[in-house]
């Protein structure tokens, strides 16, 4: 299993939105995906359903030592399962000595369930549980809001990832994903241009998430954009592009052999 944390120093940049929609996109592409909420705010479960709101989750595994198998919830998509934040979610991080579980234990237990991918939503900031999640993850995806103040946070994030690697952890950058881009607003377009100039191209995803009121509507009813209407709106399709880009970046390869060069599936026989 590959673990991909979605993290940023700043709050409100679209981490949860990206985590939910990306997990849905990966699942639709056939990967067995588990979406994990490690934010004590519990945003993933809050909007999903009454059952998700009441369910036990990540913090119950950490604090009470409950097994992840008892907590992981099925969804309408067989390839997508969810570990919500849970009932023990508490904004005050307890001392490690008071906990029954550790983040690496929870991630390892998810790996034993045979998922291809864990997408882990985190609380804003790079301390506490979020730092532990980053230490236990293979990759981190950094949503970056397209606003002038956002420019400063990129070097800080890269430094934080390097500091975790210096501790001997495996964490790699999956990439920086621009969010809330308003291409018709000059300030937003300037930030996108500047970021693409200062960030090494291998770190920046080509796909970018536009600012669109459809996201508010989807989060109000608690669904990924792809489930909002029978014909998903344009921003929903972008997460498919993000998933496709990430597949090669995080080396998520299918076990089944690729067809030979001239052996494409034919549209008609």
Interface with ligand ATP (CB under 6 A) = 11-17, 39, 43, 124, 179-180, 209, 211-212, 215-216, 219
216 binds, among Mg ion, ligand ATP, none (CB under 5 to 8 A by kind): ligand ATP
Q: How far is the CB of 156 from ligand ATP (least distance, A)?
A: 15
Q: How far is the CB of 235 from ligand ATP (least distance, A)?
A: 7
Dist CA 219 CA 44 (whole Å) = 9
* Cβ proximity to Mg ion, 112 vs 127, nearer residue: 127
* Cβ proximity to Mg ion, 85 vs 171, nearer residue: 85
Which residues, numbered 153-182, are part of the site for Mg ion (CB under 5 A)? none
* Cβ proximity to ligand ATP, 11 vs 65, nearer residue: 11
212 binds, among Mg ion, ligand ATP, none (CB under 5 to 8 A by kind): ligand ATP
Dist CA 61 CA 83 (whole Å) = 10
| Of the candidate residues 3, 4, 7, 15, the single one contacting Mg ion (CB under 5 A) | 15
Q: Which residue's Cβ has the minimum distance to Mg ion?
A: 16
Q: How far is the CB of 201 from Mg ion (least distance, A)?
A: 28
Dist CA 43 CA 37 (whole Å) = 8
* Cβ proximity to Mg ion, 15 vs 135, nearer residue: 15
Q: Which residues pair with 177 in a beta bridge?
A: 143
Dist CA 135 CA 120 (whole Å) = 12
176 binds, among Mg ion, ligand ATP, none (CB under 5 to 8 A by kind): none
Which range binds Mg ion by CB under 5 A, 10-18, 50-58, 169-177, 217-225? 10-18
86 binds, among Mg ion, ligand ATP, none (CB under 5 to 8 A by kind): none
Joined together, the tokens standing for residue 71 give 């907590």
110 binds, among Mg ion, ligand ATP, none (CB under 5 to 8 A by kind): none
| Of the candidate residues 4, 5, 6, 16, the single one contacting Mg ion (CB under 5 A) | 16
Q: With binding defined as CB under 5 A, does residue 43 bind Mg ion?
A: yes
209 binds, among Mg ion, ligand ATP, none (CB under 5 to 8 A by kind): ligand ATP
Dist CA 25 CA 242 (whole Å) = 9
Residue that is written with structure tokens 């000595």 in the block:
97
Q: How far is the CB of 43 from ligand ATP (least distance, A)?
A: 6
Residues at the contact surface with Mg ion, assessed by CB under 5 A: 15-16, 43
């Amino acid at each position: 299993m590959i673990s991909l944390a979605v993290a940023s120093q700043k709050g409100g940049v679209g981490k949860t939105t990206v985590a939910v929609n990306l997990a849905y996109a990966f699942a639709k592409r056939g990967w067995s995906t588990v979406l994990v909420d490690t934010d004590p705010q519990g945003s993933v479960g809050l909007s999903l359903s009454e059952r998700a709101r009441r369910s036990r989750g990540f913090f119950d595994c950490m604090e009470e030592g409950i097994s992840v198998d008892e907590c992981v919830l099925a969804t309408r998509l067989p390839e997508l399962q969810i570990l919500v934040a849970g009932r023990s979610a508490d904004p005050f991080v307890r001392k490690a000595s008071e906990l029954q579980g550790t983040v690496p234990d929870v991630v390892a237990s998810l790996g034993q369930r045979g998922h291809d991918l864990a997408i882990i939503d985190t609380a804003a900031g790079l301390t506490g549980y979020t730092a532990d999640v980053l230490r236990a993850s293979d990759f981190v995806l950094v949503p970056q809001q397209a606003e002038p103040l956002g420019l400063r946070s990129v070097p800080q994030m890269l430094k934080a990832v390097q500091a975790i690697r210096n501790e001997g952890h495996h964490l790699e950058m999956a990439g920086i994903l621009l969010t809330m881009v308003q291409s018709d607003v000059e300030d937003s377009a300037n930030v996108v241009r500047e970021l693409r100039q200062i960030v090494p191209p291998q770190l920046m995803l080509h796909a970018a998430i536009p600012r669109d009121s459809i996201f508010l509507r989807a989060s109000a009813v608690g669904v990924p954009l792809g489930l909002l209407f029978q014909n998903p709106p344009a921003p929903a399709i972008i997460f498919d592009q993000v998933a496709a880009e990430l597949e090669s970046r995080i080396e998520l390869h299918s076990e089944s052999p690729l067809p030979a060069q001239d052996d494409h599936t034919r549209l008609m026989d």
